[in-house]
Structure 1
């Protein structure tokens, strides 16, 4: 079988992810691969907050165009960046086993969110994180922070921020925990992650000659949790750049528990819900929870959130 061409963004973390998949393909299936680096719109526009340029395919569109043209065979994504709808002819073939799903507080001076001084500057790319930070600490000055992990950490070290929030999965994959003076994971109860956070999604053409091999990279339990979270987002018609936290997991009784939180970016209005059920009913649980939140005004709240975020950037 010929060598597989893997499309990837060019950051150290994206390349770690692509190399991780390449290594698994070689070790588990004897398949050689080559990595092709692709710059996406989200990588090119770094001086504008994500909420202003946000939309479907911010970090995936260029990779998907190369998949459709046959220039690459698969694209490896952070699943949290992948829209819930795919172009015709493309689909997710595998979702890999999840890393730690939590967000992480990182600072050079302060050991925790609680220890930050009044009005401290906190950098984050995410309206979801901004909303939940404001719920905990309304006084914080949340500011847009774009770029790869190394760029964000350098801006923190340069004193532009008192703290920043990163995905713990990226910190662990890059093995940089020892380089951070203060790094404290934020528990899910205080900051619900993004859909698919911590998992990698492998996208390819639906008629790919590699489909059967790629399926074997899938982690069934992670797939169920991520499908549940993505179905919830789909029902709410929410994109990657609106303030929605959603997380699925198993409780001590082996029931699937889905928790969700949506709200305005300033944390002034928030809806929170939780639902549990049998794991084989994961899609129905997501749909039911979404409908419950829609009945409470979720869609209208998200429209206001999007408008508020955009107006604050004018």
Structure 2
């Protein structure tokens, strides 16, 4: 490229870390390429007093970045894959999915070492319906309170005594240097991760072949297959931020495994399906898991019935 590559990013510390990480990877590949970060504020960053599920979901975190690309202010956008809707507008596509960081949820507390150590009625912060329904299954006696804001803000609220514990993604804590704050890594049996959790994705304009080829070396094939399976499941379920859906895929013995979860916080019902599939057909594996969840009654749960 003979021009500056512009990366659209949110202004939160984690989003900036992610954009800087992609920038550093690209500069190693292309030392002569000029790269700039274009920092933007999204609607999701502005509305901090309402759960995401009630104001339109996680696409609130990427719409402004997409508009920036359409307007020519940026060439690519870096996202946490768990924030990327299963269906992108026709003007965009995913140019690369990078190697995944720790995909699991983290229990963070200043006074307790694990969820089981929490006393009855302890205040636990989370804004994720997926986390809440699974947390209720583990400890129905806890007082689960809404928690919004970026990672630093959530940790500060914990330190200020607003909560006895909070649940965050391990990946964000690790990337920001807060790994020591993780008191307990929750297993996939305790809290199945969000679809795409821990993976970074790069969104590009559809048809921009120059940019697509530029990003090709960043693609991590194993992570891409795993996340594709998870996103295919989510797409078939038509799940967004307003429903409790989890999906976690791993590559094992030259095969792909996928566990899917659908929950409902009103009925405290959780449905789970685990299936094995081919590495060559991650999309099909996701569809199979979704159809089996639907056969178990996931459709009714997702409607809130």
Please, what TM-score do these two structures have when normalized by structure 1?
A: 0.93
1:4 to 2:5 alignment? yes
Contact 2:262 2:293 in 1 (8 A): no
Native 8 Å contact 1:130 1:266 kept in 2: no
Structure 2 counterpart SS, 1:227? helix
Match of 2:101 among 99, 111, 122: 99
Gaps of 5+ in 1: 306-314
The 5 Å alignment of 1:1-314 reads 1-30=2-31, 31-55=33-57, 57-178=59-180, 180=181, 183-208=183-208, 209-251=210-252, 253-266=253-266, 268-304=268-304
Mapped partners of 2:219, 2:239: distance in 1: 25
1:197 aligned counterpart, secondary structure: coil
CA distance in 2, matches of 1:239, 1:8: 22
1:169–1:267: structure 2 CA closer, same or farther, 3 Å change rule?
Answer: farther
Between the two proteins, the alignment pairs up a number of residues equal to 302
Q: TM (normalized to structure 2)?
A: 0.96
Q: Give structure 2 stretches of 5+ with no counterpart.
A: none
Please report how far the alpha carbon of residue 190 of structure 1 lies from its aligned counterpart in structure 2 after TM superposition.
1.2
8 A contact 1:68–1:90 mirrored in 2: no
The offset of 1:169, in angstroms, is: 0.4
CA distance in 1, matches of 2:134, 2:57: 21
Deviations 1:27-86 (A, max 9, x none): 112222111111111101001111211336211111111111211100000110000111
Contact 2:98 2:219 in 1 (8 A): yes
The answer on whether the counterparts of 1:134 and 1:267 sit within 8 Å (CA) in structure 2 is no
Once the two structures are overlaid, the 10-residue window that deviates more, 110-119 or 274-283, is: 274-283
Cα shift at 1:267? 6.3
Distance 1:82 1:52, change over 3 A: same
2:230–2:286 contact (8 Å) kept in structure 1: yes
Runs of 4+ in 1 over 3 A off after TM superposition: none
CA RMSD of aligned residues (A): 1.3
Q: CA deviation at 1:8?
A: 0.4
> Aligned partners of 1:172, 1:162: CA distance in 2, in Å?
21
